[in-house]
A and B are shown apart, each in its own frame.
Chain A
Amino acid sequence: DQQVKQNSPSLSVQEGRISILNCDYTNSMFDYFLWYKKYPAEGPTFLISISSIKDKNEDGRFTVFLNKSAKHLSLHIVPSQPGDSAVYFCAAGGGASKIIFGSGTRLSIRP
């Protein structure tokens, strides 16, 4: 039973445009959410997070939106750059529980 779902395995976006990566979760006990970015042959690196008390968190070109009623979060990257091409993992956690990761979305930025 997947508690964190990324339904799009891949996404292709033109350089300079907005990239939107989506994530759904089922466990209403989750109260913080994270996005990780992973390049091939490297470990995931933390990108941005959001607490359930907020509905938006912004860091430079990256913004995460949280819709608690829909149990949905999204990552917006604008403008998209070639270096953004990577696999993006959505993750969620609650209290002292371990973090649950989604299956990942491969983002490709085309020139």
Chain B
Amino acid sequence: DVKVTQSSRYLVKRTGEKVFLECVQDMDHENMFWYRQDPGLGLRLIYFSYDVKMKEKGDIPEGYSVSREKKERFSLILESTSTNQTSMYLCASGRGGRTYGYTFGSGTRLTVV
């Protein structure tokens, strides 16, 4: 069964802390994505990657960075968390070229206090 695994389901961090959110997929997908979901705003794309060591900014990249050293792993980094980064973070992966849909992980609920 196809899987996208996110390392943590729930995280609570203090303002200013550094946070790593890890995502691993076992489908050999080229494309990987990080979204955040907030009520009324839907799924907003933070960063995505079409290949190892490649990254592109999505719609809301400010305050975030990413790392993709291996094909199966895509990490989201919050260098210095702020309360407005409290959200549900969702990782997804998809095939390269023509995309027929993404497979999502279960999400990480991050609370910044």
Contact = CB atoms under 8 A, between A and B. Distances in A.
Contacts, number: 56
A101 B99 contact: no
Interface in B76-113: 90, 92, 94, 96-107, 109
Interface string B38-51: 00111101001000
Contacts of B99: 93, 96-99
Interface residues of A, number: 25
B101 A101 contact: no
Size class of the B contact interface (CB-based, 8 Å): 20 to 34
Contacts of A60: none
A43 B106 contact: yes
Contacts of A46: 101-103
A93 B106 CA distance: 23
A98 B48 contact: yes
Contact of A98 (B33, B97, B100): B33
Given A98-B33, A102-B42, A42 B106 contact: yes
Nearest to A43: B104
B66 interface: no
A110 to B, nearest CB: 21
A95 B40 CA distance: 28
Given A42-B107, A99-B101, A99-B102, 16 more contacts: A9-B40, A36-B104, A41-B107, A43-B90, A45-B104, A49-B100, A89-B42, A97-B99, A98-B33, A98-B45, A98-B48, A99-B94, A99-B99, A102-B42, A103-B42, A104-B43
Interface of B: 4, 9, 31, 33, 35, 37, 40-43, 45, 48, 90, 92, 94, 96-107, 109
